[in-house]
Structure 1
Amino acid sequence: MGVDVGGTKTDVVLTDGSGVVLQRHRVPSGQGNDEVVAAIVAAVARVCSAAGIQIEDVDSIGVGLPGAVVDGVVTHAYNLGVERLDVAATLGAAWGVKPVVDNDVNAAAMGAWMLTGEGSRSMAFLNLGTGLAAGIVLDGKLWRGRRGAAGEIGHITVDPTGPLDAEGMPGAIETYASGSGIVRQWGGTATAEEVLRAATKGDPAAEVIRDRLFFGVASAVRVLVLTLDVDEVVLGGGLTKWGEPLIAGTRAVLDEWQERSAFLASLGLSDRVAVLDSDEPVAAIGAAMMGAGRG
């Protein structure tokens, strides 16, 4: 069983041992500890019912959530309204089976690693969703860091005079290159998709936000390559549904930097960027595989 808890939806899958999805169900994630847990429990119960099994019948359970995760405890999951939640203990008490719990982007990175072909290459999965973070796979193993914060590059400031994030920090990558950041810059009730559509139609304010998006994604790619020298940065998450304009705009920024710097040109930043071309529930599959001992 794999559970992907995102900023807006909770996606649950039942898979076989190789990650093939047998059942799937999605529900809104809710806000706050109690609602987040209730959504997980309800979605898992629905999948079990559809499969004709009990939760005790599954071989393993993996859960991915935003925020820093250490020993089954998630902290600072701001998109969920969660400051601290012992996910492993809480769900273990509800199910009688203790799940493996990790960061949601780590789960997505493991799912992307499997779907794009496993091997000895290094990869960073850059999730462009409600928030922004990266999952890092080095020689087939996830790199989590000392406190589970490896890949939380959305908090890096790339412009000290830029727009403020939810914590009041200026010019953070996540503010430029995430759904919540786009909405925060725009103001009002429009979605990120609506803002980008307005940019396509020539709205000047939306065009500024769109160009900041390209800059933010390119900045994230540069950070990941310069710090880890990964073979590939794979883009995933809801914003990638915009398609070719996103990758073209990002590569244009990278190309401009490479024209200015012989060193950056030697690294081939543009050539290391790819978009995950899959309709599969990547993070939920990755969570299932992590629960089964992968990664």
Structure 2
Amino acid sequence: MTAPVDVGLDIGGSKILGVAVTADGDVLARERVATALGPDGVARGAAAVVEALRARTGRQVSAPIGVGIPGIVDPRRGTVKHAVNLGLHGEWYPLADLLADRLGVPVVVENDVNAATLGARLVEGVADLVYLGLGTGLAAGVVLDGRLRRGIAGAAGEVGHLPLGGFGVERERCQCGQHGCLELVASGRALERAWPVEEGHAAAAVFAASAAGDARAVAVRDRFAAGVAAGVRVLGLAVDPRLVVLGGGVAQVGEPLLTAVGAALRAQAAESPFLASLDLAARLRLVPPDRPVAALGAARLGRTPR
């Protein structure tokens, strides 16, 4: 009898990506559809991806199906709210129940950064790891001794909302309501403000321009890298992980991002023997571009202690 597959979904504002994965972590199939916004659109698109994966693999789906989604998530109830890029506003949206009704299989739901963290842990094969998501905002996921740390209020890893001085944004208001948050410096949105482009991605544009010797681009890149390094430093001092994995949309820049953040970490440690001894730059990794870590992590949610 052919073994069933684990299925994980990464639901984002532009696409829903699903993977069918064996118990050993091999990806048998992928399916991607454009996201239709709103409660019905999200559920309909997610169900379509699962059905397509069933058809492509010819296998039964293990229960439960895992879903990673942005917004505020209650994993125990399988609900989500304030996923504004998906058209999910206000009240708790019972995504797990709605999908389970459509598919006839139980569903578990997790925040997308936490799902990506579990995927990064699977890819790297270590039990202590931090995933730093450099997307529109800035947030981290933490795995300690093989277990995902969510926190009492689900706020573990929200380093983007740490107000830190030294970047000149102390008077600027963050979307969270505080002033001077790290996310105002070290996020995709921050790069878009500092280096606006008419098409394409600001991160790719500013790193390309800095590589070509544009002095202003170099300054934007180095300020951004210093902000990311500050987040890495906070996480390193808080939980002392074996690895810090950089992911999210900005991480598609690749090795130049790793080089810039590593250089910033070494510069920040230059006058501190204590920081230098931690060698945080050596712990940095990039998400492999061919590994959809959020979907992979979602596929493992049914095997993860809740």
- TM tier, shorter chain? 0.7 to 0.9
State the SS of the aligned residue for 1:82.
coil
Q: What's the offset of the Cα at 1:16? A: 1.4
1:95-125 superposed Cα distances (whole Å, 9 cap, x missing partner) = 232211111121111111122124xx41111
Q: What's the offset of the Cα at 1:30? A: 4.4
Question: Quick check: 1:124 aligned with 2:98?
Answer: no
Query: 1-side partners of 2:281 and 2:188: how far apart?
Result: 23
Uncovered stretches (5+) of structure 2, i.e. residues with no partner: 1-6
AA in 2 matched with 1:68: I
Query: 2-side partners of 1:208 and 1:170: how far apart?
Result: 23
| Shift in alpha-carbon separation, 1:251–1:125, aligned structure 2, 3 A | same
Contact kept in structure 1, 2:80 and 2:93, CA below 8 Å: yes
Query: 2-side partners of 1:242 and 1:274: how far apart?
Result: 13
Q: What's the offset of the Cα at 1:2? A: 0.5
Aligned residue number for residue 58 of structure 1? 61
Contact kept in structure 2, 1:79 and 1:130, CA below 8 Å: no
- Name which of structure 1's ranges 137-146 and 68-77 shifts more when overlaid on structure 2: 68-77
Q: What's the offset of the Cα at 1:5? A: 1.5
| Shift in alpha-carbon separation, 1:195–1:30, aligned structure 2, 3 A | farther
Query: 1-side partners of 2:145 and 2:73: how far apart?
Result: 22
Q: What's the offset of the Cα at 1:81? A: 4.2
AA in 1 matched with 2:252: K
Query: 1-side partners of 2:290 and 2:142: how far apart?
Result: 21
Question: Quick check: 1:176 aligned with 2:176?
Answer: no
Aligned residue number for residue 43 of structure 1? 49
Contact kept in structure 2, 1:79 and 1:131, CA below 8 Å: no
State the SS of the aligned residue for 1:279.
coil
Matched ranges for 1:244-263 at <5 A: 244-263=255-274
Q: What's the offset of the Cα at 1:92? A: 1.9
Query: 1-side partners of 2:250 and 2:161: how far apart?
Result: 18
Matched ranges for 1:161-200 at <5 A: 161-162=168-169, 165-167=174-176, 169-187=178-196, 189-190=198-199, 191-192=201-202, 193-200=204-211
Aligned residue number for residue 22 of structure 2? 16
TM-score, L = length of structure 1: 0.86
1:109-151 superposed Cα distances (whole Å, 9 cap, x missing partner) = 1111122124xx4111112233322111111111111122211
Contact kept in structure 2, 1:3 and 1:12, CA below 8 Å: yes
Query: 1-side partners of 2:36 and 2:145: how far apart?
Result: 36
State the SS of the aligned residue for 1:85.
coil
Coordinate RMSD, CA, aligned: 2.5
Query: 2-side partners of 1:169 and 1:197: how far apart?
Result: 32
Contact kept in structure 2, 1:11 and 1:284, CA below 8 Å: yes
Aligned residue number for residue 76 of structure 1? 82
Uncovered stretches (5+) of structure 1, i.e. residues with no partner: none
Pick one of 98, 101, 109 that aligns with 2:109.
101
| Shift in alpha-carbon separation, 1:168–1:107, aligned structure 2, 3 A | same
Contact kept in structure 1, 2:119 and 2:297, CA below 8 Å: yes
Aligned pairs, number: 290
AA in 2 matched with 1:248: T
Contact kept in structure 1, 2:207 and 2:256, CA below 8 Å: no
Contact kept in structure 1, 2:222 and 2:264, CA below 8 Å: no
Query: 1-side partners of 2:245 and 2:56: how far apart?
Result: 33
TM-score, L = length of structure 2: 0.84
Q: What's the offset of the Cα at 1:170? A: 4.3
Query: 1-side partners of 2:12 and 2:83: how far apart?
Result: 10
